[in-house]
Amino acid sequence: MCFGSMHLARGGDACPPFDAGAEGRAAGHRGLRSFTLLAFASWVQIAFFRVLSTPELSGNRFTHYLIPFSFACVTSLVMLLLCMRMSRYLNVSLAYRWSLPLFMLSYVPIIIDYGNVDLRILAYAINFLGMFGVQFGCWIGACKYLRRKGGGTVDLFSRYALGEGAGIFLGSLGGLFAVKSLDMQGIVALSIALMSLVVFVAMATGFNPNWVFHGSHAPRGRAPEDPKAASASRAAPEAIFLDEAVDLQNRFGLTERETDVAALLLEGRSRPFIRDELVVSINTVSTHVRSIFAKCGVHSQQELMVLARNARSDSED
């Protein structure tokens, strides 16, 4: 709640440096709203399940909590390293790609036998793995957002903290209601309904293009209003490549998506990197690359770089 108050006191998000005007600011807000909503829905699920699978007060709490937590901590670190090695570039989508299957799997042991202590321990361990996935995905995505688009650190993390806190509060209330007021059939029905709602929220928000933290270019013909912001933007290497891609767009009629791909090609990025950065399939990347080469009259990434560099040199002269 403190983070939420700080966010409200600061008046919301700072405008990302590559966005222009009210439209750009609205896009940034939409991205952060979906970020907050995902955090909220995920932590509702985590807290609800934590209450649902907790042991009786007379149970062995050391075995029930510490062993699953330690196992999940080590396993999640290994999984994160594998994700970084295989995916090469990570963003907020890691949170739902990692956590949703584990959230659904965690219900299986308690549905099989809700009174079995060993199965509850297993369910706890699986739920911990899902929790770490939410944390890793959101933290990695938040840091990447700040690096790529700028903005206030407090604004961004206050949204995550507020979503997490509100989710834990609501999920705990729902879990306490379930264990105190419902029979086994009612608990299962409520659990399935809640899990379905969380999956729906993740599907509705998880493909938000604002989570692809690649700086989007400003509309053509519109210069940044702040000269200092323009100077800083031009000084950034990514902004230079983006300017070159926009120049190619103006000269050869590239689409918006092709311009994003061209900017990454001009950075020297590989096709698998572009796939993970833009969250598309490798076939889609290849299709865009072929279209870019055909429109620009080049046959390789190196030729595209030379074309863009020569065009920049000519304009500067």
Distance spanning both ends of the chain, measured CA to CA: 55
Please give the pLDDT value at position 204: 77
Distance CA 80, CA 1 (A): 29
- Nearest CA-CA partner of 135 in 42, 37, 41: 42
pLDDT at 315: 61
Res 263: pLDDT: 92
- Give dist(CA 7, CA 155) in Å, integer: 5
Model pLDDT, residue 236: 59
> Which of 27, 137, 163 lies closest to 84, judged by CA?
137
Describe the crossing of helices 256-266 and 271-278 by its angle, rounded to 10 degrees.
130
> Tens-of-pLDDT digits for all 317 residues of the chain?
444 434 444 444 333 333 434 444 444 455 677 788 888 988 999 999 888 877 664 456 677 778 888 888 898 888 888 877 666 567 777 787 888 888 889 888 888 887 787 888 888 889 899 999 888 888 887 777 776 666 678 888 888 899 999 999 999 999 999 988 988 888 888 988 998 888 888 777 765 555 554 444 443 433 444 444 444 444 456 778 888 999 999 999 999 889 999 999 999 988 888 887 776 788 889 999 999 999 999 999 999 999 988 877 666 55
> What is the per-residue DSSP string for 123-177?
HHHHHHHHHHHHHHHHHHHHHHHHHHH---HHHHHHHHHHHHHHHHHHHHHHHHH
Q: Which residue has the tokens 């998880």?
A: 206
Report pLDDT for 100: 85
**Which single residue is written with the structure tokens 């700040």?**
146
